[in-house]
């Protein structure tokens, strides 16, 4: 086994993950920018979905998926959006959530409301 997850119960993140992956991928922060239009989508819900869809596209480009993410970092302009983001975030991951940090910051590029960056790992590159 190359990954051991220490669950945080019903929370959408794990307390810790022990791993010995041969390959790791650092995914740059993704805002809710629609790649087809080059424009930021409206609202925290749409931006959260778009950020995660952008991450999904990056993972799929190398044959990986959300189960390969071991650490996520979420940056929010308004911490009042935390509960909404959690509900959407949970729909993209299985029960073995990655470890995670969520921070409130003053501003994000392009006026975005959320940015998500991740670390993923696997033993092989497809």
Does the domain formed by 13-122 have CATH 3.30.1330.40? yes
CB within 8 Å of 115: residues ≥ 6 apart: 29, 30, 31, 51, 74, 75, 108, 109
Q: Read off the pLDDT of residues 35-90 as tens digits, 9 standing for 90 and up.
A: 999 999 999 999 999 999 999 999 999 999 999 999 999 999 999 999 999 999 99
pLDDT for the residue 11:
85
Give the Å distances, CA to CA, from 49 to 13, 26, 42, 69, 95: 17, 20, 11, 17, 19
Q: Read off the pLDDT of residues 2-35 as tens digits, 9 standing for 90 and up.
A: 788 888 888 888 889 888 899 999 999 999 999 9
pLDDT for the residue 37:
97
DSSP state letter for 81? G
pLDDT for the residue 68:
95
pTM of the predicted protein model: 0.93
pLDDT for 126 beyond 70: no
Q: At what angle do helices 82-90 and 44-61 cross, to 10 degrees?
A: 40
Output the DSSP codes for 104-123.
E-S--GGG-SEEEEEEEEES
pLDDT for the residue 94:
84
pLDDT for the residue 9:
86
- pLDDT tier at 96 (50, 70, 90 boundaries)? confident
């Amino acid at each position: 086994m190359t990954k051991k997850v220490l669950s945080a119960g019903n929370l959408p993140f794990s307390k810790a993950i022990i791993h010995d992956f041969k390959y790791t991928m650092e995914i740059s922060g993704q805002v809710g920018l629609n790649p087809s239009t080059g424009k930021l989508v409206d609202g925290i819900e749409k931006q959260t979905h778009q950020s995660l869809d952008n991450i999904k596209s990056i993972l799929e480009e190398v044959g990986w998926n959300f189960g390969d993410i071991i650490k996520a970092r979420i940056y929010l302009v308004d911490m009042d959006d935390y509960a909404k983001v959690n509900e959407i975030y949970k729909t993209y991951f299985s029960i073995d959530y990655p470890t995670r940090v969520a921070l409130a910051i003053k501003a994000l590029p392009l006026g975005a409301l959320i940015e998500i960056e991740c670390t993923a790992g696997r033993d092989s590159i497809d």
